[in-house]
A and B are shown apart, each in its own frame.
Chain A
Amino acid sequence: MSAVTTKKRRSAWPRILRRGLLENIATVVIGLGFLMLFQPFAITLYTWSFVTMLAGTVMFIVVSKFPE
């Protein structure tokens, strides 16, 4: 009996740039921005909330096009 070895094709896409992980990071960034916008403790956090949310949203749009 001859052993047939099948090689699985490995994607050239870097593992660190996979969609699942990066989408989760983007979700955390959006959530963080949202909390910063609403918190009553520091106005500095409120000031930076928009940039954080925008960065998270743009990141989410970009990484959702990446392969799984």
Chain B
Amino acid sequence: MQDLPAGKPVVTDTHPSLLDRTMEAAARATPEPLANTVRGLSDRMVAWLFIAPTILLLLAINIFPLIWAIQLSFTNYRANRPNEVVKNIGLQNYERILTDTDTWIAMQTTAHFVFWTILLQTLIGFTLAYLIDRKFRGHAFWTTIILVPMMLSPAVVGNFWRFLYEPQIGLFTYIVSFFTGIATTDILMLSNVKLAPWSIIIVDTWMWTPYVMLICLAGLRSIPDYIYEAAEVDRASNWRQFWSITLPMALPFIMLAVLFRGIENFKMFDMVNLLTGGGPGSTTEVASITLKREAFEKWRTGFSSAFAIILFVAVFGLANIYVKVLNRVKSR
């Protein structure tokens, strides 16, 4: 060790690495009073100093609004009437939401949407993963092509699918008309009561199936080859191998994808808002759209806070299960 002119120790080595040189430069650049203070701190204290900005940021933008929303959910507060006296009304908001048939219907719409998107995405995603896992010629190219929709922004996807669904100029309507013979002007995907929910399901499936495929592919690739070789020795058919090896071993990964997509679709807002805005009528009004209408159209802030807390508890409960499944997958 040699002393610097300023009295700072320097890492000496015949061939100092980049890290050593960087540390040396940082040591030289640190003002002497600060360096003395830091030297007196324990490792634990230094660790706390490093994570403190993140914790403060989390408290400011996540925890504080959550606590405030919980507090507002017990009041009759309206954000458009800031001078009105705010009354504490106890559990009345929760009681209204949980006995209101309109909110119940919104929940059922959400359930319909979540059920069909997850079912279609899992079926198509797993089938695609199974095919891609065969490692045919050009499989890497096709994997990239399949993954493209997932990389797009939901706002962009919502906007261009609106054009595809246009009765006059839409490519989707043209293709459906070509195969079914129905006039394009009769295929009103976004304004027909029966078709509107399916139009959102189609877009979400198109966009997020690649994600499910990716997780399923990871599951299929994690199955060791020797298990299949042992099954070959026992003369197990392909069908038997699929049901006894592939599916059970990929199941935790499929569960993971289902849970993740479930949580995401449960709070789906952007695509529904862009495609139908909850219409026609309230046929595609999922829970998050109802929440937006209550909060920013009817300005019932207290009521919508209570609704947000209910949705938060649902998502938080699902997230707990998600973490449990994730840990099980990790331990494999």
Query: A43 and B99: CB pair below 8 A?
Result: yes
Contacts A43-B101, A50-B98, A53-B314 given; indicate if A38 touches B108 (C-beta within 8 A): yes
Alpha-carbon separation in the docked complex, A33 to B329 (Å): 25
**A36-49 contact mask (Cβ, 8 Å, vs B): 1 or 0:** 01111001001101
Q: Name which residue of chain A comes closest to B97, CB basis.
A: A50
A23: chain B residues within 8 A (beta carbon):
324
B321 contacts partner chain A, Cβ-Cβ < 8 Å? yes
Q: Tell me how many residues of A have a C-beta within 8 Å of chain B.
A: 23
Report the separation of the CA atoms of residues A27 and B320 in the bound assembly, to the nearest whole angstrom: 8
Instruction: Determine the distance from Cα of A47 to Cα of B316 in the docked complex, in whole angstroms.
Output: 19
Give bound CA distance, A30 to B263, whole Å. Answer: 13
Q: Which residues of B contact A64 (CB under 8 A)?
A: 320
Chain A positions within 8 Å of B313 at CB level: 50, 53-54, 57
Residue picked from B99, B314, B318, most chain A C-beta under 10 Å: B314
For B98, what are the chain A residues with a Cβ–Cβ distance below 8 Å? 46-47, 49-50
Per the bound structure, the CA–CA distance linking A18 and B324 in Å amounts to: 16
Q: List 23 A-B contacts (CB under 8 A).
A: A23-B324, A26-B320, A30-B318, A30-B321, A31-B321, A34-B317, A34-B318, A37-B107, A38-B108, A38-B110, A38-B111, A40-B108, A43-B99, A43-B104, A47-B98, A50-B94, A50-B98, A50-B310, A53-B313, A56-B317, A57-B313, A57-B317, A60-B320
B residues with a Cβ closer than 8 A to A are 94, 98-99, 101, 104, 107-108, 110-111, 114, 310, 313-314, 316-318, 320-321, 324
Given A37-B314, A50-B98, A57-B320, 11 more A-B residue pairs with CB atoms under 8 Å apart are A31-B321, A33-B317, A38-B111, A43-B99, A43-B101, A46-B104, A47-B98, A50-B313, A53-B313, A54-B313, A64-B320
List 5 tightest A-B contacts by C-beta distance, closest first: A38-B111, A30-B317, A57-B317, A47-B98, A60-B320
